[in-house]
Amino acid sequence: MIGYAMNDQLRSGTPVGGDVVLLAQGVYRGFREGAARLEVLSGVDLAVQRGERLAIIGASGSGKTTLLQILGGLDRPDSGHVQVSGQDIHALSERERGALRNRTIGFVFQFHHLLPEFTALENVAMPLLVRREPRSVCMARARALLARVGLADRLDHRPAQLSGGERQRTAVARALVIDPQLVLADEPTGNLDGRNAEQVFALMLELNREFGTSLVVVTHDPRLAARMDRVLELSGGRLSGAASAASASGAASAFGATEIARPGGASPLET
């Protein structure tokens, strides 16, 4: 399988072929809980090609969100390396890391994290405004993307005036406004009902094809995982499997059932 070969290459130090946008090697991360230490990531290796669509599945508390945050430079590994567009993101200063994220990585979270005091247009333009690009350019780009996601008539609405699906589509537009090479999405439809979840995810896949952006999605939804190019399972602190999307659907279903049965909800490590 592609994923096994890729991981074998990473572990052996063999250069990975193709146009790799995201490369993680030997990533470890643990947390201390009282006197005990919980190892969440235990040598994660991963390579994502340009334009690839990858789903990461796993049980609640397995560390999927922790991994995604490390891949995006929002958290630091205890050891290991993460390269985004050829740059070791954790070797950069905080300022340099923020600049790299602003140029190359779009984020979509389960909760939209839109700024409540700003309009949809201003929220989408914000990453460009932070870059200090001309305001007219920022607004024009944001307006075009909001129209592309079907919100041309919601430009001046604040988040509280938008539906759940509209807020998440605004978040998708914000992630794409910088024309990123990579989009990291953490349960992007987890807060939506079935109809809105389908619409938002279909939009993300359509925009992935249109923009040629690599897409890494953490999900418990087997229907979403089955539509990706590749599916990896995070278990025991490592990524494995790279099952075909179709066969991974059954695994994702099992994880979904486990989630419902687990008392107490998601692990704090997943937040």
SS (H, E, C) the chain: CHHHHHHHHHHHCCCCCCCEEEEEEEEEEEEEECCEEEEEEEEEEEEEECCCEEEEECCCCCCHHHHHHHHCCCCCCCEEEEEECCEEHHHCCHHHHHHHHHHHEEEECCCCCCCCCCCHHHHHHHHHHHCCCCHHHHHHHHHHHHHHCCCCCCCCCCHHHCCHHHHHHHHHHHHHCCCCCEEEEECCCCCCCHHHHHHHHHHHHHHHHHHCCEEEEECCCHHHHCCCCEEEEEECCEEEEEECHHHHHHHHHHHHHHHHHCCCCCCHHHC
Domain extent, residue 180, equals: 50-73+92-270
Identify whether 23 is part of a domain: no
User: What percent of the chain has pLDDT above 70?
Assistant: 82
Residue 186 lies in a domain: yes
Q: What is the CATH number of the domain that holds 149?
A: 3.40.50.300
Would residue 82 count as lying in a domain?
Answer: no
Quote the mean pLDDT of the chain: 81
87 within domain boundaries: no
Q: Which residue has the higher pLDDT, 223 or 149?
A: 149
Express as a percent the part of the chain with pLDDT over 90.
Answer: 53
Kindly tell me if the per-residue pLDDT of 237 is higher than 50.
yes
User: Looking at per-residue confidence, does 34 or 214 come out higher?
Assistant: 214
Q: Indicate the number of domains in the chain.
A: 1
Average pLDDT over residues 31-39: 84
pTM here?
A: 0.79
Return phi, psi of residue 82, to 5°: -130, 120
Reply yes or no on whether the pLDDT at 1 is more than 80. Answer: no
Domain contains 69: yes
Rounded-to-integer distance, Cα 129 and Cα 124, Å? 10
For residue 257, the model assigns a pLDDT of 34
Distances (CA, A) of 254 to 58, 71, 236, 251: 9, 26, 16, 5
- Residue 214 included in any domain: yes
pLDDT of residue 137: 95
Is residue 30 a part of any domain in this protein?
Answer: no
Calpha distance 159→168 (Å, rounded): 10
Instruction: Determine, yes or no, domain membership for 17.
Output: no
